[in-house]
Amino acid sequence: MSYAPWQIWTVILALGAGTYLIRVSFLGLIGDRPMPPWLLRLLRYTPVAVIPGMVAPLVLFPAATGGEPDLARGMAAVVTLGLGLVTKNTLLAMAGGAATLYSLLFLVG
């Protein structure tokens, strides 16, 4: 199905306006008031909840293999998780996972 250029731009502009209004409404509600401590404590867990949700599909159903799990990505995920838990160092965990992924992709093919 093909769409006319005006239809595509209408959708793009509507989605942009909707996203903008959602963000402005949140910032407008909070404004320059300080956030309560309980909310700040809960917001600390946002990355911990979002990042696994973004990474898990890439490990379990990678597009590079047609959606089939493979050894290299699984081992890289295990190494990254292990390094993160042991060292509590995010950059070291990411570097170790990347090194594992590329090493296994090079070795296994």
Note whether 21 and 30 are within 8 A (CB). no
DSSP string, 21-44: HHHHHHHHHHTTSPPPHHHHHHHT
Task: Please give the radius of gyration of the chain, using alpha carbons only, rounded to the nearest integer.
Answer: 21
**pLDDT grade, residue 91 (50/70/90)?**
very high
d(CA 109, CA 104): 7
Domain boundaries, the chain: 1-33, 45-108
Note the pLDDT tens digit of each residue in 14-55: 999 999 998 887 777 777 778 889 988 988 888 888 888 888
Give mean pLDDT, residues 74-99.
94
User: What is the model's pTM?
Assistant: 0.61
Measured over the CA atoms of residue 5, residue 10, residue 11 and residue 12, the dihedral's sign is: positive
Note the pLDDT tens digit of each residue in 57-76: 988 888 888 888 889 999 99
3-state secondary structure of 45: coil
